[in-house]
Amino acid sequence: MKSHTRRFPVGAEATGDGVHFRVWAPIRKTVEVVFAGGETVPLQAEKSGYFSGFAPDARAGSRYKYKLDGGETCPDPASRFQPEGPHGWSVVVDATAFPWTDGNWRGVALPHQVIYEMHIGTFTRQGTFASAEAELPHLVETGVTVLEVMPVAEFPGRFGWGYDGVQWYAPVHLYGSPDEFRSFVDRAHSLGLGVILDVVYNHLGPDGNYLSKFAPQYFCEKTTDWGPAINFDGDDSGPVREFCIANACYWVEEFHLDGLRLDATQDIHDGSQDHILGAMARAARQRAAPRELIFIAENEPQQVRLVKPPDEGGYGLDGLWNDDYHHSAMVALTGRNEAYYNDYLGAPQEFISSMKYGYLYQGQRYKWQKKRRGTPGLDIHPAAFVTFIQNHDQVANSAYGKRCHELASPGQFRALTALTLLGPGTPMLFQGQEFGASSPFLFFADHGSELNRQIRQGRAEFLAQFPSLATPEMRAHFADPGAPATFERCKLDHSERKSHRQIYDLHCDLLKLRREEPVFLAQKRRGLDGAVLSPSAFVLRFFGDRGGVPGDDLLLLVNLALDLDLVPAPEPLLAPPADFEWGVLWSSESPKYGGNGMAPIDSPRRDSGENWQIPGHSAVVLKPRSNL
């Protein structure tokens, strides 16, 4: 048999004189490659259940399936492209042929980044990699530095979020070819943008999943919210772990991605001494070296072990989505704390604590779940907490896909946008947030009629946890996830950057302030303190780090209710440095952003002797200026 040094353990790899195939199928006696033209090539059985072989007449572009035990034919579980969808022919792809231009790109580390979550299918009207690529310069103009692309692994139907992917190695054909995805990444790098990919290693979708035809051992008896869990620690789990680890390496090597966002890691069950998340991140970093990579986890129970270094018993990931911050912000913006917002008040102390310590729940009792939530993380670096007031789940969970600027007063929205973008965490925007998109973001997934019915029912049952949405009257207004019109409504209109210029300027100016003010950019551990000024207002003092140079601190004042007269003001964090006084550096009440303007903050009204007046529904940044 012709030898071949493989780049990855599974899939079809083109060589100069043919294609080498390898697949894990331990329950099968024979496996053959069947080509679209009718030719058949038998694969040889290896130990551990693998089959492999060389097809000298195959080339990049050849279409094939695997014939199992002389009967059923199935797509390759490690297919690199499925141009007809997950049930169609797999296609051989030569990943080495793409003309990369990013040879000087060195990757990205999480500190100092601004993340932008995007869904390729709705980011533009065309919904393709190529059309998304054309919009990238505008994201650079905004101040974004890292793109977080929602899942692109091949999934069934005409549209979907991507979390029901069934072929982990194949970019979904709906968005374009694998090389068009590579072009998207290459262009992003040329503009100084990193790209990380959202991946789903906790389950596979229900339609088009052929893994069990090759090896039921891919799955275990544990379950997730979406079906059987992946077998990372049971019998025959070695090749399953290899399949997952190789997939992470594949994305960072063959697509030059700068890391991964890991979906619902609480449903990645692994009792191994070397947890699959740590093993995956370690292998991918080794494969990408010297490029730097970012690994960000979604983790509902808030386990900070994921971002602790391996020598402290952690998995060595870089970041965690901070749902606590989001939930507090939404309660403050909407005045509602039903369902999973039940344990939040949207109060000043929550925002101060979130800015100082990341998660609010680090082991306390959590009423909504009737158990403790979170693990101690007071020592975690601020940059590890990804902070946001919008993401794909949370916008869709408003039931009608409404965005924050539609759910809150304009002033409150501007104020909490300032807190999110200037705080010491790693800020994340959701597509269209930067210009106040009028398009909703709804849940959509295109399956067969029976699956679509079950999805509609499941979605209504999920939203029923919100008492305000549980009535038949409200359910009648829910969008049908399987309707093409639901998907079409979610597509962005990028001309709104101009027509919604006030919101766009707000985001651009705040991100410019974050870049240019060292005290905001620093994301320094223990770099700030805060104090409650009223039931709805608070101050954050960001401490400078220039060797004690006076006048290096900044204040961020946030007031989510009525105008606040600071009299008296027995709070030392408000005191200016010696020989300095505070002056306004930035205000959310600027007419440029649609605000109502504000008087000089230190101009007393009615000669009443108050220190300052902070406008209602506002955020103000103060900087010292010499009074000598």
Q: Are 229 and 267 in contact (CB under 8 A)?
A: yes
Instruction: Establish whether 298 is a catalytic residue.
Output: yes
Which are the contacts of 66, defined by CB distance < 8 A and separation ≥ 6? 23, 25, 31, 32, 33, 34, 73, 74, 75, 76, 214
Task: Kindly state the DSSP code that residue 353 receives in the 8-state scheme.
Answer: H
Distance from C-alpha of 591 to C-alpha of 589, rounded to nearest angstrom: 6
Taking alpha carbons only, the member of 343, 345, 445, 433 closest to residue 387 is 433
Nearest-angstrom CA–CA distance, 270 and 375: 18
The residue from 233, 242, 298, 553 that is catalytic is 298
Amino acid letter for position 331? V
Catalytically annotated residue among 117, 154, 263, 517:
263
Q: Is 85 left (phi over 0), alpha (psi -120 to 50) or beta?
A: left
Instruction: Name the strand (E) or helix (H) holding 33.
Output: strand 31-35
SS3 29: coil
Strands 618-626 and 613-614, sheet pairing: unpaired
Q: Are strands 294-297 and 259-262 parallel, antiparallel or unpaired?
A: parallel
- Compute the distance between CA of residue 196 and CA of residue 193 in angstroms, rounded to an integer: 10
3-state secondary structure of 378: coil
Distance in angstroms (rounded) separating the CA atoms of residues 401 and 138: 24
User: Dihedral (C-alpha) 285, 420, 131, 400: value to the nearest 10 degrees?
Assistant: 120
Which residues make Cβ contacts (< 8 Å) with residue 514, sequence separation at least 6?
114, 143, 421, 422, 427, 520, 521
Active-site positions read 263, 298
